[in-house]
Amino acid sequence: MNRSTRESAPEPPRSSPYLDPYRKAIDEHGPSFEATLWANRDFQTKRFEVFLDLQDFSGRTIIDAGAGQGGFAGCLSEREIAFERYIGLEAIVEQVQQHAALGRAREEMRVADFVADASAFRLDGSADGPKPDVIIFSGSLNTLTPKAMRRTLASAWEATGESLLFNFLSSRTTRKISKKDAGPARRFDPLALADWALDRTAHVTLRHDYLPYGHDATIVMRRPPDQSAAN
C-alpha cells in the first residue's frame, strides 16, 4: 500500500469548458479546498460517508475520478480502511502538485481528463488495461452536460470490475435554487439517472436522504458477483 504520489501526464488542454470553472477557482483561490467547488466541508464529508455506507472499500483498488487533492483517500485513511490501492484522477495540475506537497505516500495522483480519455479509468492508464474494483465520482460530474455525463459514466461502468458510485446535485430538491446559488454546477434528475443505471444492471441503489431538502443524490451500480470483471 506504499503508493507514490506523482504526476503521470501533462495538464489537459485548456479548451475543455467543463474544466473552466475549476481553472477560474484555481486562479482565484490557488490549489485549495475552495478550488474544488464544494459548497462546504461538511457536505463533502457527508457525501463521503454515504459512499462508505454503501460500499466496502477494504482491500479494493479504487479510481477516484475528479479527486481534487485526494480528500476521499484521506477519509479512508482517517477511518483506518485498508484499501489495496488508490488512484486519484485530477485534471487541474495545481491540485495534484498540492497533494504531492502533503506527503501522503499511500496514495497516487494522476493528471488526467477522464471525460476526454476513458483509458484514465484503467489502473495502468491504457485502453485495455486492468480494471479497478471501484470507481467513484464525488462532485466531479456537476459541470458536465447531461450527454457528457452519461457518456463518462458509461465509460466508467465499462472500466470497473465491481462497483461504480457517483453523486450529483439533484433536480428533485424541494428548495428553490437560484442561478446564483447553483453557480457553474448543473442539477440532474435522480430518477432518470437511476433508470439509466437499471438499463445496465439490476443491482442499483439510490440515496436521496442525506442532505437537507434533497440537495444531492448518490447512485451505486454493482455487478452481480458471478459477472464481476476479472482484473
What CATH number does the domain containing 48 carry? 3.40.50.150
Domain holding 112, by residue range, is: 17-227
Number of structural domains the chain divides into: 1
Q: Any residues with CB less than 8 A from the CB of 221 and at least 6 apart, and which? A: 157, 163, 164, 165, 197, 200, 201, 203, 204
In a domain, 10, yes or no: no
In a domain, 6, yes or no: no
**By the 8 A CB rule, do 138 and 49 touch?**
no
Question: Which of these, 188, 182, 190, lies nearest to 39 by C-alpha position?
Answer: 182
In a domain, 47, yes or no: yes
In a domain, 194, yes or no: yes
* pLDDT tens digits for range 78-134: 999 999 999 999 988 888 877 665 666 678 999 999 999 999 999 999 999 999 999
| pLDDT top residue among 170 and 95 | 170
In a domain, 54, yes or no: yes
- Please state the separation of Cα 73 from the chain's center in Å: 12
* pLDDT tens digits for range 51-81: 999 999 999 999 999 998 899 999 999 999 9
In a domain, 151, yes or no: yes
Taking the C-alpha atoms of residue 150 and residue 74, their distance in angstroms, rounded to an integer, is 28
In a domain, 166, yes or no: yes
